[in-house]
Each structure stands twice: as structure tokens, then as C-alpha cells.
Structure 1
């Protein structure tokens, strides 16, 4: 009964309300900032590569480098959702869902630019002198609404730092049990110890870890995906054709009996895309807030590249699933209406992605995804932990608060590896969705500040924003 209620609430929240809110704020900022993700794409890409390093200057209480910040942000973004999300969207919404994932990423780039800008502008220091920032800070300092900032802080600590990281740990343990038959408790213990080793060292260890592991894991995963696509090369163009046609006419690709409508493909694609890139959720601003940059705008450009990188990973995962599915479907002489019938009986989510790789690499494919999932999910645990810790610092002034939270987080990560987490998954989605609401409110109300901080734009040239000066002291 309880799980059924959670499922209903979570479905309404993610598949309907948040799709419109998150896409809406992305469209709002795209027009407000005059298509900044297009105008400044080359600048942003250049900024990302110019700051690339696997061994930058060590982070300290004053913050971290711009590349370390975006690596920490991507660490949180690139998790199980990037491996399981495309599979879930394709199986339930057809290949057209990938197109709508692209749409959500495009608009999400404008949203995350605004988040990073605001996080930079309202960054501050806690009582220990540690640089901190994020939605709780720009809600309180920008809007002056303390209770809303506290609500966001509580929600993100529960959503990501505790429940969310339990889900990530469980995903790692399950994947290794399936592929290598390692007991879940053993995997959980290893993950918990490694997490403790990284987070106890504070921002210095976290920044050093993410700047090395994120580029490396992205490179090896993308390399594996490219090899699969090279072996499935004859199905790449048909896959793209399926994606574009099914986005607007699913029946033309899947057959009328598939029961997938354009609204379903759109809703699932956008929802999974938003969940994967986290634009508008209020998570990544915590990392971007502490980047050592000359202007908030500079980090905004880097933040956009985080969403772009996630979009590339999601796209390649989707293409692997579709091309491998077509290849297996044609080779087996399946009689179903489309290649989706070839995946029937092979589970959902991450197991579909594993199966797609196994079709090309054999059992090695499943092991490759298990290790990819380990690094993706582990990096997410580190990123999400950092976001939660920032909000622990916001809520509690006691020096003991952070060590206590570290202990709770590590215990949760270990225990979740060997328990059933079906309800925990539902709770994670629920709290993830709820924390979006305060952040979206702040993004909308602080839009004039974002415009003011963006070069080449003038507030007086945007009549809509001139009518409501939310913060007259700053405007």
C-alpha cells in the first residue's frame, strides 16, 4: 500500500509536474539569455579544454579550480541514470525518447548556466572559513526567504546524501553480484571504505578524486561505446532514422500494436533526460559555487559543458542499445513488431544496457558495464555527498555536524548494498523531485540577477523583467 502511494506521487511529480517546470525554466532562460547555449557554445567548449588537467592545484578552504568544480558536478550527474536511463526511456517510450532527451539537455544547458551564475554570486564562507554556496545560499541571500532555504537544505541532504547514495551503492553491489558473483555485502564494504577515505579528507580529497576519475571513466566508457557502434556500423543510420521518426510518429517505427504514443515518448524522454543531467534540480550549483574564477559568467559556461558531456554519454548509450537491438532482432528472425521485442525477458534499465553490450562482447560486455557502473555510481556518491555536506554546513553551526553526517552516510552506503531497496528507490525519486521546487522558484525570481551578470545583456532591454524587481537593493 505504502509503495503504491509512493509510486503514484512520484509518477505525478516526475512524469508530469516537473517535466513542465524544468523544461519551462529551461525555455525561459534560453529566450531570456538569447540562446546562450548556442551563442557561447564555442567559448564554453574552449574554456573546458583550456582548463583540463588531471592534476590541478590542490583545493583548499577558499575553493577549487574551475575544472575540479565541473568534474565534481559531472561526478554527480554521471551516475546510474546515464546507463539505465536511456534503456528505460527506449523500452517504455520507444527510440524517439532519445530525441526528447536531447531536447531536455539543450534547454537544460541554459538552466544550469543560471544555477552556476547564482551559486557563484552568492557564495560565502562558513564558520570554519570553508567556501560554500548553492541554492540554500542564493535562496536566503538572494530572495531573503530563510524557511525555503532550510527546506531545500533538508530535502537535498535526505535525497542525495542519504537515500540517493544508498540507491547508488545498491546498484553497484547488484551489478557485481550479477556479473562476477561477488557477495553484495563485500562490494558494499569496499565501496563504504573507499567513500570514507575520500570524504574524510574534505574538499581537497574530493576535488583531487573527481578531476582524475571523471575524465578517465568518461574516456573508457565512451571508447567502449564507440567500439560497439563500430561493430554495429551498418545499423547506426537506421538507428538515427528511428530516433527522429519515432519522436513524432512512434507507430511508424514500432507498429500500432506497440501502444506507444508521441506523448509517452516525449514525457519519458524529457523526464529521463532531466534526471540524468540534473539541470534545475539544484545539485550541481554546490560544486560550481566554489570554483575559483574571475567572474560568475565564466563558471556558467563551464557548467553548460557538464550537461553537454552527459548528453553525449546518454546518446552513445542509447545508440548502443538501439543498434544492438536491431542487430539481434534481425539475426534472430524475431517476428515482433520492432527491435524492442528482442529485449523482452531481459529485464529493464541497467540489465538492458548490459545485454546490449553482451550481444557484441559476450560476457565481457556485462563485466564492462558492471565496472562502468561502479565508477559512474561511485563518482556520483562522492559528488552527492559533497552537495549534502554543503547543506549540513548550512544548517548546523557545530563542528561535530560534518563528522556525524560522514558516519551516517558511510553506514547507509554499506547497509544499502545487501538489502532490498525498492521502496528506497521510490523515496529517492520523491525527495529528488521535491527539492526541485524551491530551486525552480529561486531560478525564476532571481532571473534579473542572472541577466545583470551576463555580458552583452541589459536588463532594461527586457521589459518582462523590468516589471518585477524582486530584489531592488541589487537591481
Structure 2
């Protein structure tokens, strides 16, 4: 009965509302910001140079980027891409690229707002995100509460169950490890990190995320170069399948569009309102909200354009591109085995453990940051939340794959709808703050941010600026 209800909600959210809404808002901000993701593509990378600076109130911009990547680069990049291809065919990858390109502008906008409206929590650390800019910027407490509850449900209860479920499935498929034994080990390891709070998570992420991302990308590139003669036809197949232009492609357009956007959003999270939790926690360098927007825009590029594309190439070069029954991590494992032999299954199992585990840690950071919104950021509030988070992760390993992903899609979709609507109503602030940053980039003075210099909407006196 619960699964039927979830399926009905998803049919509305993902069948029409969210797909068109995300495309529309991506186009809206791409146009209003003058294709920022193209014009300032190099500036995203240039900001990495000073991104390791931080202070006692916030983590560094680089740690915030790695924290967001730890949540982004997870099972969505390995299992999610496989699911998109198995249900939508090769064309789903094209629509993942499209939503990522448009999503870069959306990610910039939401991360900028997270910085503009961030506050101090009970420990003097930065906190922020959609719940905060909805309440402070739009003065809509009820909508902020609804978003925060959706985020706590998704990232506090559901998404980590998805990650743990995929880890357990990969290890069971490769090594026949008992599912519940894997669940117990993953839960204990996660507890050792998340109990240390946001700073502990940030330090963990900045060490592990670059290493695991580089290792996976280099492996996928090696496989691609080994099959370089097949790449041109493969890319053509992706494009023709995306629009149903193939002879046997009647009806595949809708499947490719739906699954590409659905899994693409789940992977890069642009517009969903999750990444702003990490963006708000940073002490940016330069000390301006726009600088964190640029870095989080880079996160979308790396997640989808780089890591998801690498996974797709590995699967499609192994002729794993026929749409059919839903398959997750096992499709990726079989493809890797075909390329590099039995070691491929071990490599994917290790990758999914690292990717999934870092996502679990990142998910905790997102959900925990919203405790302050409900005045629960005290010792007992944090302990209670941590216990529930770890418990859901443990029992999530026993859930059915289809049901787990369906519940994750529902929570994710509700968050995205609320967040996107808020972004549209706060467009004036996004444009004003962006213009302020661009003016200062052309001057000889150090870039800084003052609310009085911009026409910021809402109750700015409650923010730290």
C-alpha cells in the first residue's frame, strides 16, 4: 500500500511536473545569468587556488565542495547511471548532460543564496540552505518547514538507506558477503566519522573524495582509449537514441528523457536544495556569496560531465545499452568485468563502497545542518538524530531495490519542487549579488560582500552579513 502511494506521487512529480520545472528553471538562470557556466568556466577552476582558507566559524570552500561531492558522487554515478541506461537506453545519457549543463546555473543560484542568508548555530558555526532563504528571503515559514522536513526525511532517513543498500548488494554479488554483516560494518564506520560533526566530515571528504574520483576517472579513461575506435559510433548512438531517431526507437524518447533527467538530478542534485547546506557552511575566499556559487557549479560539472559520463562509457562500450528491466550496480560490474576481467568486479565493488560511504557521510551533514532550523542543534537533539540516521541506514540494506529508489525519488522530488519555486521568487537577489561580484572582479580592491550594496530581499538583519 505504501509503495503504491509512493508510485502515484512519483508519477505526478516525475511524469510531468519536475521534469519541465527543472528544465525551465535551468534555462531561466542560464539566460538571466548570461550563460555563466560557459562564460566563466575557467573562473570556476581559478577559485580552487584559494579555496582551502577557512576560519573558526566555517569550513573551507574546498571542504564544502568536497562535502557536496561526497554526497553527489555516490551510487547515482555507478548504480544510477546503470539504471538510467537499463530503463531509458543510451539516450538517457544525453539528457543527463543537458540537465547537468542547465543545472550548473541552478546550482550557482542556490549556493549563492545559501551564503547570503546563512546564520550562526548554537556553536557559532555557519548554517544555511533553502529552509533559511525561504524563511528569511521570502518570509514563508510554513514553506521553509515543509522543505526542511522533506530534507530531513530524505537525507536523514531514505538516501543513506539507498547508499547502504547498493553497497551491500555490490559486496554480496562479488563476495557473497551477508547483507546484514555489511550493514553492521558500514553503520559502525559511518558512526565514527559523523559523530565528529561537520568539521570531521569536511576533513574526511577533502582527503577521500579527490582520491576516489581520480582513481575511477583514470580507470574509465583507460578503458575508453582501449576501445577508442568504438567511441564515435557510441556517441552517435547516444544522440540518436535520445530523440528516438533509431529505427527501433519508437517510444524511447520519453523513456530516455524521463530516466536521464531523473537519474541526472539524483546524481548532481542541482536544484534539489541539498547542496546549499554544504555551501552555507563555508567561509568563502573571496569573502563573497558568489564565489561559493562558482565552486558548487564546478561540483555539478565534475559529477555528471566527468564521473557519470565515465560510467556510461564503461557500460556502453561493453554493449550494455539495451533498455529493459531495471538494473543497478550489477550492470556496471558486468561491464567492468568484460573490459578488464574478473578484477573489474572487485574494482566496482571497492568503488561503490567508497562512493556510497562518502555519500552517507555527506547526507548526514546535509540533514544535521537543518537541526538548527528547529532549535534541535543541542546535544540531545544531535544524539537522537544520529541514532535514527544510523538505524535507518542499517535496516535499509534489507529493502527491495525498486522500493528504495522509488521512496528516494519521492523525497527528492518534493524537495526540488519547493526549492525551485523559491529560487524563482528570489531571482532579483541572485542577479543583484552576481552583478556586485562582477563589478568587484574588475577592481583592484579585495572582493567582499556587504548587504547594503545589493538589493537583497527579505530579513537580512538575521543573517551573518
**TM superposition score normalised by structure 2:** 0.89
Residues 61 and 428 from structure 1, CA distance in 2 versus in 1: closer, same or farther, beyond 3 angstroms? Answer: farther
CA distance in 2, matches of 1:457, 1:405: 38
How many residues were matched structurally?
Answer: 441
Q: What residue in structure 2 maps to residue 183 of structure 1?
A: 178
Work out which of the residue numbers 156, 167, 176 in structure 2 matches 1:172. Answer: 167
Q: What residue in structure 1 maps to residue 268 of structure 2?
A: 277
Aligned-pair distance for 1:453?
0.4
CA distance in 1, matches of 2:398, 2:328: 20
Work out which of the residue numbers 194, 202, 214 in structure 2 matches 1:199. Answer: 194
Q: What residue in structure 2 maps to residue 361 of structure 1?
A: 340
5+ long unaligned stretches in structure 1: 327-338, 459-468
Residues 420 and 102 from structure 1, CA distance in 2 versus in 1: closer, same or farther, beyond 3 angstroms? Answer: closer
CA distance in 2, matches of 1:446, 1:147: 17
> Retained in 2: the 8 A contact 1:155–1:431?
yes
Aligned-pair distance for 1:394?
1.4
SS at match of 1:357: helix
Matches within 5 A, 1:7-46: 7-46=7-46
Q: Which runs of 4+ in 1 moved over 6 A?
A: none
Q: What residue in structure 1 maps to residue 441 of structure 2?
A: none
Work out which of the residue numbers 240, 244, 252 in structure 1 matches 2:239. Answer: 244
CA distance in 2, matches of 1:167, 1:34: 37
1:432-459 CA-to-partner distances (Å, cap 9, x unmatched) read 111122211210111100001013799x
CA distance in 1, matches of 2:371, 2:421: 22
CA distance in 2, matches of 1:275, 1:412: 20
Per mean C-alpha deviation after superposition, the further-off stretch among 148-157 and 122-131 is: 122-131
Aligned-pair distance for 1:89?
2.2
Residues 472 and 350 from structure 1, CA distance in 2 versus in 1: closer, same or farther, beyond 3 angstroms? Answer: closer
Q: What residue in structure 2 maps to residue 266 of structure 1?
A: 257
Residues 135 and 272 from structure 1, CA distance in 2 versus in 1: closer, same or farther, beyond 3 angstroms? Answer: same
> Retained in 2: the 8 A contact 1:89–1:272?
yes
Matched, 1:83 2:78: yes
Aligned-pair distance for 1:246?
2.3
CA distance in 2, matches of 1:391, 1:95: 38
SS at match of 1:279: coil
> Retained in 1: the 8 A contact 2:148–2:370?
yes
> Retained in 2: the 8 A contact 1:232–1:324?
no
Q: What residue in structure 2 maps to residue 321 of structure 1?
A: 315
**TM superposition score normalised by structure 1:** 0.88
Per mean C-alpha deviation after superposition, the further-off stretch among 355-364 and 111-120 is: 355-364
Aligned-pair distance for 1:421?
5.7
1:54-91 CA-to-partner distances (Å, cap 9, x unmatched) read xx57x775111010001001111111111122222223
CA distance in 2, matches of 1:274, 1:410: 25
CA distance in 1, matches of 2:76, 2:309: 12
CA distance in 1, matches of 2:361, 2:3: 28
> Retained in 1: the 8 A contact 2:163–2:357?
yes
SS at match of 1:11: helix
Residues 394 and 363 from structure 1, CA distance in 2 versus in 1: closer, same or farther, beyond 3 angstroms? Answer: same
SS at match of 2:158: helix
CA distance in 2, matches of 1:151, 1:372: 35
